[in-house]
A and B are shown apart, each in its own frame.
Chain A
């Protein structure tokens, strides 16, 4: 065979042809990023980039990318490029080429040529089958480049000729008004083309064969990871950008501008004033805020953790260290897993029907804490159990051989070794319960715009009474608000509070941002705790 040179032990230095393939991978990465940005409307199709209309730019890059990939394959087959291809591109590549060509063929036949669903199906099967054969039959360098490389060339030409332009719209003609717009179709199609062509280009860069497939898979996995990180980043950036103006309204820095606080009898004024997080809602306020909901969320999470962690860790200790493994532990395991997947509204109903009537027959902070505590409980049990099972039995043996009792072994050896795992579980659980809306709606409530007077003061609320149980805390038995519920109420309320909250949209985004910050703060505390316990276990 012409191109099948013997494999070399020492790789040649990067040649010009390698650089071409690497450039193709680079172009597909650029297209990938551009299409993600366009999908999230960070760039628009109508605005030009570098003097070129965006659609034209995307189309041009796609044609260049596809052409390069195909050219590389043909060049390799004709022996101009030194590669090490297998005899066939393989089944996976064949299906990967067949699926997009089935979509293209079917779509063109049924919509553009008007042949209907049956005609589209036949045409799609024909083009898909053709692509399958074209990939599977020839040697790998042709098979894995030409059918897939032709795809971006075709798409690019469609963009360049203006067949699909910024104003393009495809009405699906369903009963409900549904249509695909260019804003959605162009980035999505570009994204898939970039993935396919990037994959083929990476295989070409690796010189096909085993090494080429490794490069292809590596590129795909890398792009996947990249897209997940990009998605998270865009999500957080979106909330921050939208929420910052609302949070920073009326911020003042300077001595004595902030609210007064009294700690240990010492009264002082904060040197900074952020009304959104330091005020409630009141008629006379210059700026309105969500302080009651922040404090409510904080106490809600603290209460739920204080309730669930001791119970959950205790149950896990019993299950791993004392109970004999058997039917009983299996049932408990299945039950805890089931509880963890129970919808939160069910927990909310339980709190509403069972806890609320027992706490003064009104929605209260305490009922909310306990409901969320019950939600958190199964996860704490599951993760603590896993963490304790992972503690090596050698530690238990060593301790027993010293004559140390089982409980002391658990306390001094097993628990410290399991703590990082327990903390991980609590972090995950807190992330979930801090954002819960449904159980709070049913057990704790609050309002859309909560006055500052409703800020709970749990610590200051404790009172001693002359009758049992000798301690009372009316603050715990009051309805209060929490951030996710307030956000929900703000969105369903739809309108602002007259002059006071003139920009309800900004108020909502700011609330969402504060919720995000509160949850991430709990997360940071958890990570810090886990780091501390891990250090204790390893090198101090």
Chain B
């Protein structure tokens, strides 16, 4: 446990101010030093002392990290290390799990997302998510893409709107085309937008899910092992796409595949068993010269 110290104070690299810890809890507290990582540009998401419990299980132990904007951040680690749980904290998807309890803080552009009065609709519009297995709705390709904006009331193509002559069919067309082009799927499906999305191949379905996520104009895209259910060709298409997306969006991706993390990410965070963030640095640094022995063992395949 070389990375864990008994210090009660934690320091953030940007402020150098001691932060108040979540104390007074009866549970065993594993305090970690702020895993330092200097990067260029602004921090998009900042988590401080984030703890997650599933019932009695302490899934994430006091994770503090900063995620820079318009780049790809990879979260790697062995199964059950809590990387997916951490990802789901960033848009509060863990709220949907009744047994989950979250302590600590996550800030999006400096605004706390774990506080009263947070508008979950707005949060999830700004922080979108793509899941492990492709999960398009059993609807047409067009309906899948337009689903979010329609439900948010951004575009209205309903019967009443059409009767009143206020329908947004043109806007919808433009939006569907834009999202599909961004997800590099337009060429393959532009002539069959009204076909059922379940008729697409696995790789196409996953790109459709990315397009669906892009349709609501997010700032951050969280990806939970987006290529693990796909074949190598579909995987490489998704990886190219992630590269493109990082120019405009902040991408956080969980992956099991270390080569994938090395290929696509700008910085990599390594979680190890027990839900600790052990090391967080430039991807090249992590894969070539990690600080911690445990991380080196993990990356060289000695365990995990």
Other-chain residue from B91, B148, B196 in contact with A404 (beta carbon distance below 8 A): B148
Instruction: Give 1 or 0 for each of B199-213: 1 = CB within 8 Å of chain A CB.
Output: 100000000010011
Asked whether any CB of chain B lies closer than 8 Å to the CB of A398, the reply is yes
B196:A401 contact, CB within 8 angstroms: no
Instruction: Give 1 or 0 for each of B122-151: 1 = CB within 8 Å of chain A CB.
Output: 111100110101011111100000011001
Scan residues 410-454 of chain A and give those whose CB is less than 8 A from a CB of chain B. 412-413, 416-417
Cα distance, A324 to B97, chains bound together (Å):
11
B135:A394 contact, CB within 8 angstroms: yes
Instruction: List chain B residues, Cβ under 8 A from A413.
Output: 137
Choose, from A8-16, A141-149, A472-480, A532-540, the stretch at the interface: A532-540
Instruction: Give 1 or 0 for each of A334-363: 1 = CB within 8 Å of chain B CB.
Output: 000000000000000000000000000000
Cα distance, A417 to B136, chains bound together (Å):
12
Question: Would you give the shortest CB distance from B215 to chain A, in whole angstroms?
Answer: 8
A402:B128 contact, CB within 8 angstroms: yes
Instruction: List chain B residues, Cβ under 8 A from A392.
Output: 135
Q: From known contacts A394-B133, A538-B196, infer whether A402 and B213 are also in contact, taking CB-CB under 8 Å.
A: yes
Question: Would you give the shortest CB distance from A319 to chain B, in whole angstroms?
Answer: 16
A402:B148 contact, CB within 8 angstroms: yes
B198:A402 contact, CB within 8 angstroms: no
Cα distance, A538 to B199, chains bound together (Å):
8
Scan residues 149-197 of chain B and give those whose CB is less than 8 A from a CB of chain A. 151-152, 194-196
Q: From known contacts A403-B152, A539-B195, infer whether A412 and B125 are also in contact, taking CB-CB under 8 Å.
A: no
Instruction: Give 1 or 0 for each of A508-540: 1 = CB within 8 Å of chain B CB.
Output: 000000000000000000000000000001111
Asked whether any CB of chain B lies closer than 8 Å to the CB of A252, the reply is no
Cα distance, A150 to B212, chains bound together (Å):
72
Other-chain residue from B96, B121, B136 in contact with A403 (beta carbon distance below 8 A): B121
A404:B135 contact, CB within 8 angstroms: no
Q: From known contacts A403-B148, A403-B216, A540-B140, infer whether A398 and B93 are also in contact, taking CB-CB under 8 Å.
A: no
Cα distance, A493 to B193, chains bound together (Å):
64
Scan residues 60-95 of chain B and give those whose CB is less than 8 A from a CB of chain A. 91, 93
A403:B125 contact, CB within 8 angstroms: yes
A402:B131 contact, CB within 8 angstroms: no
Instruction: List chain B residues, Cβ under 8 A from A537.
Output: 138, 196
Asked whether any CB of chain B lies closer than 8 Å to the CB of A395, the reply is yes
Instruction: Please name the residue on chain A nearest to B130 by beta carbon.
Output: A401
Cα distance, A434 to B227, chains bound together (Å):
52
Question: Would you give the shortest CB distance from A270 to chain B, in whole angstroms?
Answer: 36
Question: Would you give the shortest CB distance from B37 to chain A, in whole angstroms?
Answer: 27
Instruction: List chain A residues, Cβ under 8 A from B93.
Output: 397, 400-401
Cα distance, A417 to B138, chains bound together (Å):
8
Asked whether any CB of chain B lies closer than 8 Å to the CB of A405, the reply is yes
B151:A404 contact, CB within 8 angstroms: yes
B151:A538 contact, CB within 8 angstroms: no
Instruction: Please name the residue on chain B nearest to A537 by beta carbon.
Output: B138
Cα distance, A399 to B151, chains bound together (Å):
10
Asked whether any CB of chain B lies closer than 8 Å to the CB of A224, the reply is no
Instruction: List chain B residues, Cβ under 8 A from A269.
Output: none
Instruction: Please name the residue on chain B nearest to A402 by beta carbon.
Output: B148
How many chain A residues sit at the interface, stated as a range, is 20 to 34
Cα distance, A413 to B140, chains bound together (Å):
12
Instruction: Please name the residue on chain B nearest to A394 by beta carbon.
Output: B135
Instruction: List chain A residues, Cβ under 8 A from B98.
Output: 324
Instruction: List chain B residues, Cβ under 8 A from A405.
Output: 121, 151
Asked whether any CB of chain B lies closer than 8 Å to the CB of A5, the reply is no
Question: Would you give the shortest CB distance from B202 to chain A, in whole angstroms?
Answer: 14
A402:B151 contact, CB within 8 angstroms: yes
Asked whether any CB of chain B lies closer than 8 Å to the CB of A408, the reply is yes
A540:B194 contact, CB within 8 angstroms: yes
Instruction: Give 1 or 0 for each of A98-133: 1 = CB within 8 Å of chain B CB.
Output: 000000000000000000000000000000000000
Question: Would you give the shortest CB distance from B209 to chain A, in whole angstroms?
Answer: 7
Cα distance, A400 to B213, chains bound together (Å):
11
Scan residues 371-402 of chain A and give those whose CB is less than 8 A from a CB of chain B. 392, 394-402
Instruction: List chain A residues, Cβ under 8 A from B19.
Output: none
Cα distance, A404 to B96, chains bound together (Å):
13
Instruction: List chain B residues, Cβ under 8 A from A398.
Output: 131, 135-137, 209, 212
A402:B212 contact, CB within 8 angstroms: yes
Other-chain residue from B96, B122, B148 in contact with A397 (beta carbon distance below 8 A): B96
Question: Would you give the shortest CB distance from B170 to chain A, in whole angstroms?
Answer: 22
Cα distance, A324 to B151, chains bound together (Å):
25
Instruction: List chain A residues, Cβ under 8 A from B91.
Output: 401
Scan residues 233-276 of chain A and give those whose CB is less than 8 A from a CB of chain B. none
Instruction: Please name the residue on chain A nearest to B123 by beta carbon.
Output: A403
B128:A401 contact, CB within 8 angstroms: yes
Instruction: List chain A residues, Cβ under 8 A from B212.
Output: 398, 402
Instruction: List chain B residues, Cβ under 8 A from A397.
Output: 93, 96, 131, 135
Instruction: List chain B residues, Cβ under 8 A from A404.
Output: 121, 147-148, 151-152
Other-chain residue from A401, A408, A539 in contact with B151 (beta carbon distance below 8 A): A408
Other-chain residue from B125, B133, B138, B209 in contact with A538 (beta carbon distance below 8 A): B138
B194:A401 contact, CB within 8 angstroms: no
Cα distance, A412 to B137, chains bound together (Å):
10
Cα distance, A473 to B241, chains bound together (Å):
64
Asked whether any CB of chain A lies closer than 8 Å to the CB of B22, the reply is no
Question: Would you give the shortest CB distance from B86 to chain A, in whole angstroms?
Answer: 16
Instruction: List chain B residues, Cβ under 8 A from A539.
Output: 195-196, 198-199
Cα distance, A408 to B121, chains bound together (Å):
12
Cα distance, A270 to B116, chains bound together (Å):
69
Instruction: List chain B residues, Cβ under 8 A from A394.
Output: 131, 133, 135
Instruction: Please name the residue on chain B nearest to A395 by beta carbon.
Output: B137
Cα distance, A394 to B229, chains bound together (Å):
14
Instruction: Please name the residue on chain B nearest to A408 by beta carbon.
Output: B151
Instruction: Give 1 or 0 for each of B251-270: 1 = CB within 8 Å of chain A CB.
Output: 00000000000000000000
Can you list 12 A-B contacts with CB-CB less than 8 angstroms, sorted by A residue number? A394-B133, A395-B137, A397-B96, A398-B212, A401-B93, A402-B147, A402-B151, A403-B121, A405-B151, A416-B138, A537-B196, A539-B199
Query: What is the interface of chain A, defined by CB distance below 8 A to chain B?
Result: 324, 392, 394-405, 408, 412-413, 416-417, 537-540
8 new A-B contacts at CB < 8 Å, known A401-B124, A537-B138, A538-B198 = A394-B131, A400-B96, A404-B121, A408-B151, A412-B147, A416-B138, A539-B199, A540-B140
The 6 nearest A-B residue pairs measured at CB: A403-B124, A394-B135, A401-B129, A402-B148, A403-B121, A537-B138
